[in-house]
A and B are shown apart, each in its own frame.
Chain A
Amino acid sequence: MRMASYLGRRLAYFVVSVLGVLVITFVLTRTLPGNPVYLLAGPLTDQEKVDAATRELGLDRPLPAQFVTYVGDLVHGDLGTSLRTSQPVVDDLASRWPATAELAILAILVAVTWALVVGTLAAVFPRSVFARVADLVGSLGVSVPEFWLATVVILVFFTSLGIAPAPIGRISGTPPGTVTGFYTVDAVLTADWSALRASLAQLLLPVLTLALTTGAPMMRTAREFMTGVLGSPYIRAGRALGIPPARLVVRHALPNALLPVTTMVATMFGYLLGGTVMVEFVFAWPGVGKYAVDSITASDYAPVMAVVVLSAIVYLLVYLVTDLVHLVVDPRSRI
């Protein structure tokens, strides 16, 4: 019963937040420079044509009615047309999202892994040199702008050492046959091993950049939480009972630290979406982020606003799912 009411409240929050997001983007879209009426009516025009264009665009109707149209268009997948590519924005996004998803998913996996391992070890050996180095890496990782880190890793690993490929996008050579749109997955499915090698090589530097910047705050959270857990009475009791320290950490302490880390992953997801925009741009990665920046450069605003509104909605969805997962995983939330 309690669980049902919590679930209902949580879903209601989600709907309200999505509405709030839509109101914000609606206002931003209406304030954008460049009068759409003149775009439609043409430069040499009279008042009559301007009025007709205004009516056609529905701009003479009251704002709430315009808002309903705006939301309706979004729901039907009408995100406008890109002036730069002269394609519907939704089609442009559909062809680009696998590039972004492949990069982001891999980055978050690498980030969570190193954050948990390093954070746990630093909590277990708090006075070691390792913990101090972890501290330093954590502080630097949260302070470094990811677009600058991206240029530095290119300088070091491509320009100077020559061990990474040139930053020219997802793959050099021919991409594997399309199955899912994820080059690494497609390469495995079509048994195209040279394409797998080539796409992994291209992924190396952007994933490294994003994993370092998004993993740093996660590592700090994991470390802080593990320190707290390791000092708690049940761990001391376990130690007094003679449970080997390694087993105590892995079996008894670590599962408790996973909950705050999942929340952290959800929070970092929003940051990751923003960071991917910059990193894709530096690595000429043909994903959604580069699409947004290229559109900004061309003063083409419909794609930018589409990316802005979709990123917020995706973030809210991820957060909702995280909360629901907590509900299932953490027995305390069911009381």
Chain B
Amino acid sequence: MTALDVRPAARRGPVARWRILVPAAGLAVIALVSLVGPFFLVDPLDVGAGEPLSGPSGAHLFGVDQYGMDVLSRVVSAGRIDLLLALSASAIALVAGIPLGAFAGYRGGAWDQGLLRVAESFQAFPTMLLAMGVTLALGPSLPNLVAVIAVVNIPLYMRLARSAVIPLREADFVLAARCAGRSTFQIVRQHIVPNIAQVAIAQFSVTCAWAIQVLAGLSFIGIGVRMPTAEWGSMIRQGTDHMVTGQWWLSVFPGLAILLTVLALNQIAAAARRWGGPS
């Protein structure tokens, strides 16, 4: 132990630009490939694409699954459904959760306590298990899956917005607006919500990452997106039947797709948070 670094931790330099550019570029590539890739690849539902269970080769870069479907083509087209569902679920959670939390934090009192307790009750459930329960109750259609993932994430945004609003409640510009006779609703909408946009954006990225994991998890246990539709989680499930016999390409590639996408989203969130944080 030669040097114990005792310089204050808060005195970090400005966020290096590559910290946000690299993951953002990675995510852009993933989104672009999922969007336009399917036009250049074989049909992901074509069961005659190749010899079933044949490994990666020149003709099938990611190999062929047990039904004879091309794994590369399925991984790429699964990106569409995973990204789309995750994005819309996170957007709904944000649009519903931020105003609710802002309202609770601004109003204070019984409203605040009531909404906070509701949010806490939802957060008491392990996310995956709550998602399982709600999916069973609603039935596993695509819109319902979006709803489920949105519901489990709304409390997160509520609490985030609430804690960001409380210090703003007594800020001069808010007091001025109140003196000018603005209603609570107007103040929250015009003055409070724009001020918490930054934390919301960092959280949005994290929520998208979580949404992909939850969606893939639900599909993995068989109540999310179902075969034959290509989805990363259900593809991994498909591969578990063959992993002990060595057909690794069935589940390794869709898993890598999840890992890279989630990693990029998490890194963007981390960079955004540091950018906004105290420097």
Contacts and interface: CB of A to CB of B under 8 A. Distances in A.
Query: Do A and B come from the same complex?
Result: yes
Interface of A: 13, 16-17, 19-21, 23-25, 27-29, 31-33, 124-127, 139-140, 142-145, 147-149, 151-152, 154-155, 158-160, 166-167, 227-228, 230-231, 235-236, 239, 245-246, 248-249, 270-271, 273-275, 277-278, 281-282, 292-293, 296-297, 301, 304-305, 307-308, 311-313, 315-316
Nearest to A220: B270
Contacts of A270: 124-127
A66 B254 CA distance: 45
A292 B129 CA distance: 9
A235 B246 CA distance: 53
B136 A278 contact: no
Interface string B233-268: 100100110011110100110110011001100110
B6 A16 contact: no
B221 interface: yes
B266 A296 contact: no
B262 A315 contact: no
Contacts of B246: 155, 159-160
Contacts, number: 180
B153 interface: no
B216 A231 contact: no
B6 A20 contact: no
B166 interface: no
B130 interface: yes
B125 A151 contact: no
30 contacts: A16-B117, A17-B124, A21-B125, A31-B137, A124-B5, A126-B5, A140-B259, A143-B259, A143-B262, A144-B255, A145-B233, A147-B220, A148-B251, A151-B236, A151-B240, A152-B255, A154-B243, A230-B5, A230-B9, A270-B126, A282-B240, A292-B129, A292-B132, A296-B221, A301-B136, A304-B136, A307-B129, A308-B129, A311-B129, A312-B125
Contacts of A159: 243-246, 248
Given A148-B259, A277-B128, A24 B121 contact: yes
B217 A278 contact: yes
Interface string B1-31: 1001111111000000000000000000000
Contact of A151 (B122, B129, B243): B243
Per CB-CB distance, the 3 closest pairs between chain A and chain B, nearest first, are A20-B121, A274-B128, A148-B255
B138 to A, nearest CB: 7
Contacts of B220: 145, 147, 278
B217 A154 contact: no
